Amino acid sequence: MQEMAVQGPAEAVETDAIIRAEKIEKYYSQPSENRIQVIAPTDLSIVPGEIVALLGPSGSGKSTMLRMLTGLSRPSAGKVYWHEKPIDNTEINVSIVFQSFALFPWMTVLENVEAPLKARGITPDERHERSMKMLDTVGLDGFEAAYPKELSGGMRQRVGFARALVVEPEVLFMDEPFSALDVLTAENLRSELLELWGKKTMPTRSVFIVTHNIEEAVLLADRIIVLGRNPGHIRTDFRVQIPQPRDRKAEPFTQLVDYIYKVLTRPDVAPTEAPDHQHPSPRPRDQRQMRYQMLPHARPGGIAGLLELLLDKGGRDDIYRLADDLAFEIDDLLPTVDAAQLLAFLKVDEGDASITEAGSEYANSEILRQKELFRDAALEHVLLLRQIRRALESKSDHTVPEEFFLDMLDEQFSDDESRLQMETAINWGRYAELFDFDAARRRFVMPDALEEEIAPSGEAE
Amino acid sequence: MNLPVLARARVTVRTWPFVIDVGVAVCALAVFFAFVSTGEYWIGKPVPVVPISHSIGALPAYAFYSLVRIFIAYLMSLTFAVAYGYTAAYNPRIEAWMIAVLDILQSIPVLSFLPPVVLAMVALIPGHQIGVEMGVVLLIFTGQVWNLAFSFYSSLKAIPREMIEASRIYRYSAWQRFWQLEMPYATIGLVWNSIVSVAGGWFALMACEMFTMGTRNFQLPGLGSYLQTAANSGDVRALIAGFTLVILIVVATDQLVWRPLIAWSDKFKFEQVESSDRVTSPILTLLHRSRLFSELPGELWARVEEPIYRRLARAKENRVVHALDDGGSRNAASPALWTVAVVLLTVVGWGALQAMLMLRTVTWPEFRLLLEGAGATFLRVNASLLISALWTIPVGVTIGFNPKLARFIQPLAQILASVPATAFFPILLIGLVKIGGGLGIGSIALMLLGTQWYILFNVIAGAMSIPSDLREVASLYHFPRLQRWTQVILPGIFPYLITGMVTASGGAWNASVFAEYSRMPDRTLETVGLGAQISAATDAGRFPILLLATIFISLMVVTMNRLVWRRLYRLAETRYKLEG
């Protein structure tokens, strides 16, 4: 820490890395000779002057990665270096801020903060002085004699920060530090962290944060690493060029969130380039200005049927003729056509419906694949579904009341129409397995399989 | 501490703590004298049969001797439990073995340990009273130690992972981890198990201070001997006096030791929010006020530990972060370890072989008698459990649903559970002899004495823990009585009931050895049962029978634990857990 060097933040060269992981992987051997690969061989460096965010669904080994980088867990193969020396027999200086705070409930706030200094053999007087100063920095003066259980969650995490920072770590690791807190408290702590970092009040040279919250990553990080699953691997690793302080509503911000969101929801597609924010894309997508589309009240099964019929007819036909063939009134058919059009499965020009590439893929696929295609299309093109899904992901309990979205729809539609819109959205979302809807409680809930994917990582990792 | 309130409070209560400080000093002097006189007695020539006076005036001295035995045995238990639990928890290589050994050892009734332990100690320390004394203390130790070891081990295993990671990443030494993480985390479990343990210690002490082994008689000065001789000679006055003293000691221990400890251990609760109902103890409050006790230990301790921390921080070992997933034991075992293992294996193998050879002397009729005894004792133990459950569940639930009553009765049940059933035995036996009843049924009554209170205590706790909204639902929808019991009350108390039954079952097996056999000066009362055979074998010095009977009991207890209790426990932990 004495070498609080003023290096150029982003341009640090690989060899300057504080921590460098070389082909680290993790697997568990089983008695039957085969092994379960948890993390594929991965290279990763932490260089001075940056906040790195590690994003990924659970099961991608975010926490395991953090523990290997801190020396708490030994890679099954590969090596981790601390300033180019093997991490397992070098004196390193890192701290971890834990999701559960991991404070010792039988010790006072002050004793908790002093404990790491005690472990380093620092004299009682100096211990006291440094701890009190740190408590002051995180806004806890006056609380030194309290026990953690007397404090609120936010206050407790402040103690966690004080304990982490009091040893003046070179790298500060954080493992989902804000996900056990309520939204406002988390927001508050995030901005204070940025303030400490920005003003260089802490001697820390690098911050490494593991999170499942996309917006949090975009808000804090200079560099974002997205992990994929089965086994854990780096899908994309890019720098965030948006200057601090960042505005959640600004276009580059939402665009980046959208981009990461797409990467995460399409595990099978190779990520495209991150959007370059110096040149805003032609299609702005500010959610607040964007109005909800009117969802046509069609059933997903109907859409599939229509597309299959269209495909039989060579991929292009007159809508009226279609209705005729089906013995449908045109008003009955139109919602389905509109829906297919909304999802970009077909194009309509001058009364002719022509199937798109996505549409024919959809029509030709088997049921599970159809659902996937539908999910991707729905997320891309239907604002309401995207919002519901994102709300579910950002809530710690992964449920949101229907009321919340009805209120927003009400600003644009009549009461009855809002309900119909909601009904259709629920129908589509359930079909695409974007969410489940608990009719008894009128709440959206994350479906089980997906909940595992995005839920805050438990101790399984 | 520059809080003005605290400073003022200290000045106004200044005179009161001073009195306590003086009192504490006087106590210290008395303790010193007690040490000296006990030491004199122990170093003296061995007197296997110390004549026991019937005078009430001799009682305090006897009580003192018994207390010293219990205390020493408890300290040994605690040390052993911590060492054993620690070793088991951090050495994956031998963990499963150590736990299995513990499981078997705790199933062996205390009295089965008596002959080998006493003979070994007398042989090891010949020529001094301390040899016999150590034998008895070790017996009490065997009655106390196992559940403490289990408790410490499972606490270590239950420490949340992030806490361990925090201690690693901040480079705690093993020393700091022990005092700041492991010991505090295990404290509550240790306190509650200590209460059960010390009760078990008293139970063993009552029977072990005076016994016959083959042709040799042993009789040590103490409360247990006093009660037995009083009963043997039919001195009811002395019996009542001795019995009263036992109860007084139990109550005093509860008030002066356990309640303050429970109240103090509250701060080690691993909880996110402060709970509203806390045990309070006036004694603890007094101790907190006493300057001698509230400040001196901390200051002294700081002097001891500061240099340790400074030295430890310099060690290379404590300057790096150790990975959690490679325990030291994963490394190739050193030759020394192998040698130890081989030697141990040889000794165990030889011992087992000798024991097997010894078992060959058991004749077929004796074996059949043992089998019959096993069946009888099994039925008796379960009958006593059933009877206990039958009366404690309705009574306990009624008490538990009435918070005022519960607050009064529950501590009482805790005290009653601590009164050693073996102290009742002599009195009950006199009664049994008077009405001419045999031990067949009488022994069940004797077992009940020791076991039912644990169930009562836990059922009350269980009934109190049923959330009131669940009970309100039951009355709102007019659940009939049967439905109320099957859908609300029984599932609600289930985990507690199982905890109580497991403890009680262990106690009942242990009690069977004392309850099924009693030697009076003029005659011997006994009934068919394994316990009776163990006692009789001890009396007669028939070691093969003793060994075989012990193996039977151990087998039955371990099997019951595996097949019944463990499953019920798992069910209680998963399905019937009421989350706050």
Here the ipTM equals: 0.73
Which of A241-256 are b and which e, b meaning 16 or more Cβ less than 10 Å from the residue's Cβ? ebeeebeeeebbbbbb
Rounded Cα distance, B490 and B459, in Å: 10
What fold is seen in the domain B353-574? MetI-like fold (1.10.3720)
Does residue B418 have a pLDDT over 90? no
Residues in A closer than 8 angstroms to B162, CB to CB, are: 98-100, 102
The sign of the CA dihedral B42, B43, B49, B53 is negative
How far does B161 lie from chain A, in Å, by closest CA? Answer: 8
Express as a percent the part of chain B with pLDDT over 70: 84
**What does each C-alpha distance from A416 to A71, A403, A410, A412 come to in angstroms?**
58, 14, 9, 12
Give the tens place of pLDDT for each residue, B466-524: 888 888 888 888 888 888 888 888 888 888 888 888 878 888 888 887 788 777 666 67
Are residues A107 and B180, on separate chains, in Cβ contact within 8 Å? yes
Model confidence at A132: pLDDT above 80: yes
DSSP string, B172-223: --HHHHIIIIIHHHHHHHHHHHHHHHHHHHHHHHHHHSEEEETTEEEE-SSH
Whole-model pTM: value is 0.71
Contacts of B171 in chain A (CB under 8 A): 116, 119-120
Whether the predicted pLDDT of A456 surpasses 80: no
Distance CA A230, CA A444 (A): 28
pLDDT digit string, tens, across residues A419-455:
888 888 988 988 888 888 887 778 888 876 444 444 4
Nearest CA in chain B to A119: B172
Mean pLDDT of B122-146: 81
pLDDT tens for each residue of B224-242 = 888 888 877 878 888 888 8
| Fold match, B54-269 / B353-574 | yes
| Residue pLDDT, tens place only, A159-183 | 999 999 999 999 999 998 988 888 7
B92: left (phi over 0), alpha (psi -120 to 50) or beta: alpha
Question: In terms of CA atoms, which chain B residue is nearest residue A124?
Answer: B306
CB pairs under 8 A between A and B: 102
Q: How far is CA A200 from CA A47, A164, A195, B497, in A?
A: 16, 16, 8, 58
Instruction: List, for residues A224-261, the tens digit of each pLDDT value.
Output: 999 887 788 888 888 888 888 888 888 888 888 878 87
Interface contact flag, A119 B162, Cβ < 8 Å: no
**Domain residue ranges of chain B, discontinuous segments joined by +:** 54-269, 281-319, 353-574
List the Cα angle B323/B324/B328 in 5-degree steps: 85
Looking at A108-117, A176-185, A214-223, which range is the least confident one? Answer: A176-185
**Predicted local confidence at residue B19, as pLDDT:** 58
pLDDT on residue A415: 73
Q: How confident is the model at residue A31 (pLDDT cuts 50, 70, 90)?
A: low
Give A-chain residues touching B312 at CB under 8 angstroms: 119, 121
Instruction: Place domain B54-269 in its CATH homologous superfamily.
Output: MetI-like (1.10.3720.10)
- pLDDT at residue A53 in the model: 94
Mean pLDDT of B61-76: 90
The predicted model gives B74-87 an average pLDDT of 93
Q: Which positions in chain B have a beta carbon within 8 angstroms of at least one beta carbon in chain A?
A: 1, 3, 160-163, 165-166, 168-173, 176, 180-181, 184, 267-274, 302, 306, 309-314, 318-326
Query: What are the residues of chain A with a beta carbon less than 8 Å away from any beta carbon of chain B?
Result: 67, 70-74, 87-92, 94-96, 98-100, 102, 104-107, 115-116, 118-124, 145, 147, 149-150, 163, 167, 459
How far apart CA A275 and CA A263 sit, in angstroms, is 12
Chain A hits for B163, Cβ within 8 Å = 102, 104
Per-residue pLDDT of A147-158, as tens digits, reads 888 888 888 999
What are the two backbone dihedrals, phi and then psi, of residue A318, each rounded to the nearest 5 degrees?
A: -75, 135
pLDDT score of A187 more than 80: yes
The answer, yes or no, to whether residue B202 has pLDDT greater than 80, is: yes
Which of A38 and A373 is assigned the larger pLDDT?
Answer: A373
Residue A169 C-alpha, separation from nearest chain B C-alpha, in angstroms: 10
